[in-house]
Amino acid sequence: MNRSFWIIALIAFINSLSFTILIPIIYLYGKQFGLNDFQTSLLFSIYSLAQFFATPVIGKLSDRFGRKPLLIISLAGTVIANFIAGTASTASVLFLARLLDGITGGNNSIAQAIISDVTNQENRAKGFGIYGAVFGLGFILGPAISLLAQTISLGTSFFVSGVIALIALLITLVFLPETIQSKAEQAHNIFDLGLGNLIKGLVTPRVGVLLIINFFIGTTFTIFTYAFQPYFIQVLSQNSQSLTLLFVLFGGLGLLMQTAGIRFLTLNFSLINILFLALFFRSLSFVLMPIWANVVYFVGISILFSIFNSLVQPMVNTLISLNSKPEEQGTALGINSSYLSISNAVGPVIAGTLIDQSSPTSYGYPLYLAGGLTFLVLWLAVVTRRRYAVKTTSSSEIS
């Protein structure tokens, strides 16, 4: 791995800190503004819906004009949006801040495109594994920082997140070189900014089926990620501090799997088989979680979930990258991030609709649904595997 890779890995780590500081508090922050469970689900969804439309545009522009300027714009948007959210006095301003963050939220897709630029096919799975690992490290330290910020106020977490994003922005400005080797040709129509690729991507050979699979992966996952927070707080009678500590646990296990775990597994199994294994245990975990309303039991199942869940996105991202042309990495990964974003918009709304605050039992319904649907996603991935298999997924070719 060269110098550019480690610089973007550092930027990705800092960006993950900024992102994960907010995860444990958005639900509770929305509650401070008098939002109900369905309305707080919309707070999650507006960010993701904005990303759905913006990310392919950002990915396309990064293929045309370079990764660095678009990453600068994305990080600057995060800084501004978080400062607005931290000073919000009404729910409408908070929604506006989340919308702005979503519109400029191409940070991850650009970072993934940079990894594709600076790694060869044999090392790409390893590169995405390290990328996932630094994001996992952010999941350890981000919630821990959030825990400290919460002692002042939930809004303080947004300020801290904005300052950390500003650090990532400064590092990008000063240290990150441009990594794209061959920029995409300028379109004759200057308004062709990649939105058409949202449809085109679905019929792209080898990539389209992965985009569909990842959309459903994202939908089932975000049904879970929204639902487990009110379940943990309302049904298991826990607080924001214990919820944050659970995120720290998720991050620690994710870091372990995305460093030592992925290296071991890719030496012995294909990327596709690792993906199948991860999806199976993710599905099983979702179904098991709400069976017994006991916090020790829930944490135990969460450990099983976290171990295998951390493998899913590195495998999917690698498969999409390996099935895409070198000059279209930003576009392909941007479209992938876009479909993940729309799934992130759909999942919380589904979960919020199923929850009835007057019925504690209903808090478990989205978890059962996420588990059942993820088993269907696994089935889809298995029956379509020949359409996205790549030769470089054999264990002898990945170091």
Domains present along the chain, CATH in parentheses:
3-177+193-390 (1.20.1250.20)
Query: Kindly report the CA angle at 278 between 272 and 280, in degrees rounded to 5?
Result: 105
Task: Name the 3-class secondary structure at 187.
Answer: coil
Mean pLDDT across the chain, nearest whole number?
85
The two three-digit tokens of residue 265, written as one number: 């597994």
Burial class (CB in 10 A: 0-12, 13-18, 19+), 99: middle
pLDDT score recorded for residue 394: 41
Q: What does the pLDDT look like over 265-306, one tens digit per residue? A: 888 888 999 999 999 999 999 999 999 999 999 999 999 998
Is 364 in contact with 287 (CB distance < 8 Å)? no
Query: Kindly report the CA angle at 272 between 266 and 275, in degrees rounded to 5?
Result: 85
Q: How far apart are CA 377 and CA 373, in angstroms?
A: 6
Is 207 in contact with 320 (CB distance < 8 Å)? yes
In the chain, where does DSSP find H-type helix?
Answer: 3-22, 26-32, 37-65, 67-86, 91-103, 107-118, 121-150, 154-175, 197-200, 208-230, 240-256, 262-268, 271-288, 295-309, 312-322, 329-354, 365-383
Is 358 in contact with 82 (CB distance < 8 Å)? no
Q: How far apart are CA 146 and CA 67, in angstroms?
A: 30
Q: What does the pLDDT look like over 36-75, one tens digit per residue? A: 888 888 888 898 888 877 877 887 788 888 899 999 999 9
pLDDT score recorded for residue 199: 76
Half-sphere exposure of 218 (CA within 13 A, CB side): 23
pLDDT score recorded for residue 86: 94
Q: What is the pLDDT along the chain (399 residues), one digit of tens a residue?
A: 788 889 998 998 898 889 889 988 888 899 899 998 888 888 888 988 888 778 778 877 888 888 999 999 999 999 999 999 999 999 999 999 999 998 887 777 788 888 888 888 777 777 877 887 787 788 778 888 988 998 899 999 999 999 999 999 999 999 999 988 765 555 444 445 555 666 777 878 888 999 999 999 999 998 998 888 889 988 998 887 888 888 888 878 877 887 788 888 888 888 999 999 999 999 999 999 999 999 999 999 999 998 999 889 889 988 988 888 777 776 777 778 778 878 888 888 898 888 876 677 888 999 999 999 999 999 999 999 988 887 544 433 333
pLDDT score recorded for residue 240: 75
pLDDT score recorded for residue 149: 92
